[in-house]
Amino acid sequence: MFNFKQKNVVMPKDSTVSVVIVAAGSGERLAAEAGAENGKALLQVAGKPLIQHSLEIFAQVDRVKDIIVVAREIDILAIYDIVNNEQIPKVRNIVPGGSTRQHSVYNGLKEVSTDYVLIHDAARPCITLDDINDLITRLVENGRPVTLASKIIDTINRVQNGTIVDTLDRDELFVVQTPQGFNTTKLKHAHEKAIDDGFESTDDAGLLENFGEKVHIVRGSSQNIKITYPDDVLVAEAILAARENVYGVF
């Protein structure tokens, strides 16, 4: 684990949110199709390692106090070098991931001391400042668990044996994204209860739902895609390039 002691970083008085960036995936599906040699966190996307996009944007958010990265042990030194070489502020710790995403998040949560925490997948490099700030506002003002989500625009069918058996109501369907925001103590308890119960969820909102908490939707951009396959890299690079043309920065 690396502990960063960065100088000349003045935190606003209302910096009450920590961010855990989950970057411990091996990228096996990418490797299978594109021959990726490194873990997904170090995959080059728009001229930067994938993890760097998330680090840079969360470091710009005034209400983010610090950032904890969860990574594969083999990638930790490389991420440490990215943080130092690019002088990315607010990164406090880099900790090893676990055998599952849920285990990796819990490892990161152990390092969080603020009242509220955002959990974000490094595989989503196209998150925007506006969406992050909207999520934090809803989280801190209401104290309730929140997740970014975008509206489904396609027709969704339920299929059995290759045949459509039902058409689902799009008005009730959202694509759940990250970051997701939580009261830190409640999320830690949910993780600990999940360990005791042997319960596994694909995201942290699912953990809270399983234990009776209602998770609230914050509408986010459909551009906040998750990189899983090589084609996703091309889409993400197009999104980031379009933003650079408009704003001059990624």
- Domain of 174, CATH number, reads 3.90.550.10
Domain count, the chain: 1
Measured CA to CA, the distance from residue 59 to residue 78 in angstroms comes to 18
Residue 244 pLDDT: 79
Backbone angles phi, psi at 102, to 5 degrees: -60, -45
Provide block-wise average pLDDT over 10 residues at a time, the chain (250 residues).
Answer: 50 72 80 59 95 98 96 96 97 96 97 96 97 96 95 92 91 94 96 95 94 94 95 96 69
**For the whole model, what pTM was predicted?**
0.90
Domain extent, residue 210, equals 2-247
Residue 250 pLDDT: 46
Measured CA to CA, the distance from residue 159 to residue 9 in angstroms comes to 53
